[in-house]
Structure 1
Amino acid sequence: MELIMIKLNNVCKEYNNELLYNNFNIDFEENKISCILGPSGIGKTTLVNMITGLIIPDSGEIMLPLNSKFSYVFQEPRLLEWYSVYDNIEFVLREYYNIAERKAIINKTLALVGLSDFSNYKISELSGGMAQRVSLARAFAYPSNILILDEPFKGLDYKLEEDLLIKFKSIWQNDKRTVLFITHDIEQALFLSDYIYIFNNKPVEVVYRLSMDKSLSIDAKNIIKKYL
Structure 2
Amino acid sequence: MINTFHTSLPPPPVPPRLGHRRSEPRQNSPLVWFLSVVLVLHMIVTLLGFIYLFQRSNQGNQISQLEARADKLSSERLHQPLAHMSLKNNNPTCTVEDKVPCVLVWNNDHSVRVNVDTEGPSRLKIKQTGYYYVYSQVTFSKRDVKTSPQNSIIKSTDQSLRETHNKKDEVLLDSYCSVGYTSQCSAFQGGIFKLEQDEELYVRVTNLTWVSPDWNSTFFGLYKLPNDL
TM-score by structure 2 length? Answer: 0.19
Bigger helix share: 1
Larger radius of gyration: 2
Q: Which has the higher contact order (CA 8 A, sep 6+)?
A: 1
TM-score by structure 1 length? Answer: 0.20
Bigger strand share: 2
